Structure 1
Amino acid sequence: MKQFFVLLLFMGIVTVSCKGDDSNCCPHPDPTNCNKFSVIDETKYSQTDTSNYTITNVVLNGDCLEITIGASGCDPNNWDMNLFVSELIVETNPAQYKTKTELINNEACLAVFQKTVSFDLTTLQMPGANQVQLTIEGWNTPILYQY
């Protein structure tokens, strides 16, 4: 009987320990079709180095901005990319965000690869407007994001 209560107590603890906000325990589906979210952060934008890659293509696909980069490395599957957006909005018509792509690549191989990552832009939507322009460091053509 004592073992039964210990087992019951253990089952109760395991059941209660799984909370809905714990992504390791109870996965939630990603609300977008993009790979990652864009991040509005002036400090990270200012500190982002863009010299370790070349942007080879940029495509706006709905709310997703797809950025293709080329860089040397061993395996692009090991790369991580982020899109940082300056908090300082350029007051033009339409309003303009400055962005930088960060490539995290800790490999020292001489082969050159490409990788495409899409970033969700919905956090850049401005109330009372239906479009913003994105200026991407390393890409000569501004992107007009209409929503």
Structure 2
Amino acid sequence: MLIFFGCKGDDSLCCPHPNPTNCNEFSIIDETKYNQTNTNNYTITNVVLNGDCLEITVSSSGCNPNNWDMNFVASEVVVETLPNQWNAKVELINNEACQAVFQKTVSFDLTPFKIIGQNQVQINIAGWNNSIMYQY
């Protein structure tokens, strides 16, 4: 039995998983939110795929990175190539006006990106020069 879950931006409980991962956050698959996500208030400094978790480190000015929120938002449109591709963005919610520069790493659950009948997908992240090949 194979179960596929996807998240919508308005889903406050966002995707209860039968097998919870150890990631910090769930990913969001929502076309409207993807199109509205601003990517010019941070720089991605590192991306690491760790099982079903994608660890993303961003750098931005602020007062305390513990006050930042981050989302990983993907377009609902899957590019049908071999392998299929998802386009995604990081959303950094940082309402601080300090001049210091900090980094923060958050891991996002990629299980909603799995496509039935395939064992890998490519993830293209806005602001990161390398695609991520997510194999499952």
2:124 is aligned with 1:135: yes
Corresponding residue number in structure 2 for 1:18 = none
Q: How does 1:1-147 map to 2 (within 5 A)?
A: 31-147=20-136
Structure 1: which 5+ runs fail to align? 1-22, 24-29
**Which of structures 1 and 2 has the larger relative contact order (alpha carbons within 8 angstroms, sep 6+)?**
2
> Distance in 1 between the 2:55 and 2:125 partners?
12
Cα drift, residue 92 of structure 1:
1.1
> Distance in 1 between the 2:30 and 2:124 partners?
15
Task: Count the aligned residue pairs.
Answer: 119
Corresponding residue number in structure 1 for 2:10 = none
> Distance in 2 between the 1:90 and 1:122 partners?
18
Letter in 2 for 1:42: E
Letter in 2 for 1:69: V
> Distance in 2 between the 1:48 and 1:31 partners?
26
> Distance in 1 between the 2:86 and 2:20 partners?
23
With the length of structure 1 as denominator, give the TM-score of the two structures.
Answer: 0.79
Runs of 4+ that moved beyond 3 A = none
Letter in 2 for 1:112: V
Q: Deviations over 1:34-93 (max 9, x none)?
A: 000101000000000000000000000000000000000000000000000100111111
% same residue:
71
> Distance in 2 between the 1:66 and 1:44 partners?
21
* Structure of greater Rg: 1
